[in-house]
Amino acid sequence: METTELVARARALAGRADRGGRRILGIAGQPGAGKSTLAERLAAALGPALAVVVPMDGFHFAQAELERLGRADRKGAPDTFDAAGYTALLHRLREPDGGTVYAPAFDRGLEEPIAGSIAVGPAVPLVITEGNYLLHDAGEWARVRPLLDEAWYLAPDDTLRIRRLVDRHVRHGKDQVGARAWVARSDEANARLIAPGRDRADLVLDVG
């Protein structure tokens, strides 16, 4: 499906917000699938009056908390996020109460979440949220799917996806050997958990 068709579909979803409430579009997929890139392209095409991106990654536990819990060596796994906090935010976003909702972002340079970074005004009809575990059906994550008006799953070629992941880790400070080791041990373990979620999506996109 072409980007213009995806923009039109997202615009139509935003238009349904005039029937009451705000609409939420979820974009899921394995690490390196291109979720954040697509979310930002959609938001740019629709404009800030229609859509704001709220990434799931803002709910990463802080590095200090991951170390306290003994989970720092598998950052990115389902239990390294505040899933309950994320679902609580989705509830707030679905039911605008006349005020601005502030959501956290994730700074890849710092590798830390940053609270209160994203403002979602009360008149914005569409929130685009993206992340690995939107369609995961275990624990607290199972509460996310019912809060999404539409869910899209990105399914690129695995060779391309893994190359993107390695390049991303290198950009953020790992050497090639360390980047490939992290992808093989951590990212791909998470990818296997995420893959069954494609069956719970409204739309599966074989993206390049």
Structural domains of the chain, with CATH: 3-203 (3.40.50.300)
Q: Which two tokens stand for residue 129?
A: 């949220």
Question: In sequence order, what are the residues at sequence separation of 6 or more whose Cβ sits closer than 8 angstroms to the Cβ of residue 98?
Answer: 122
Whether 10 shows a pLDDT value over 70: the answer reads yes
| Average pLDDT score over residue span 16-22 | 75
* Confidence band for 56, pLDDT divided at 50, 70 and 90: very high
The confidence score (pLDDT) of residue 30 equals: 93
138-194 pLDDT tens trace = 999 999 999 999 999 999 888 888 888 888 888 878 889 988 988 888 889 899 999
Q: How many Cα neighbours within 13 Å face the side chain of 152?
A: 24
Largest CA distance in the chain: 52
Query: Which run of H or of E encompasses 113?
Result: strand 112-120
pLDDT digits (tens, 9 = 90+) for 108-151: 888 899 999 999 999 999 999 999 999 999 999 999 999 999 99
Q: Which helix (H) or strand (E) holds 102?
A: strand 101-107
Q: Over the chain, what is the mean pLDDT?
A: 92
Which residues are paired to 127 by β-bridges?
A: 24, 52
Q: Return the DSSP state at 164.
A: H
Q: Which ranges of the chain would DSSP assign to H, the alpha helix?
A: 3-15, 35-46, 63-69, 83-94, 158-171, 176-182, 188-194
Q: What is the predicted pLDDT for the residue at 20?
A: 64
The predicted pLDDT at position 171 comes to 87
pLDDT in the model for residue 12: 96
* Rounded distance between C-alpha atoms, residue 38 and residue 131, angstroms: 11
Question: Do 118 and 103 contact (CB within 8 A), yes or no?
Answer: yes
Q: Given pLDDT bands bounded at 50, 70 and 90, which one contains residue 19? A: low
Beta strand pairing call for 51-53 and 101-107: unpaired
Residue (of 128, 127, 141, 129) closest to 190 by Cα position = 141
**pLDDT at site 125:** 96
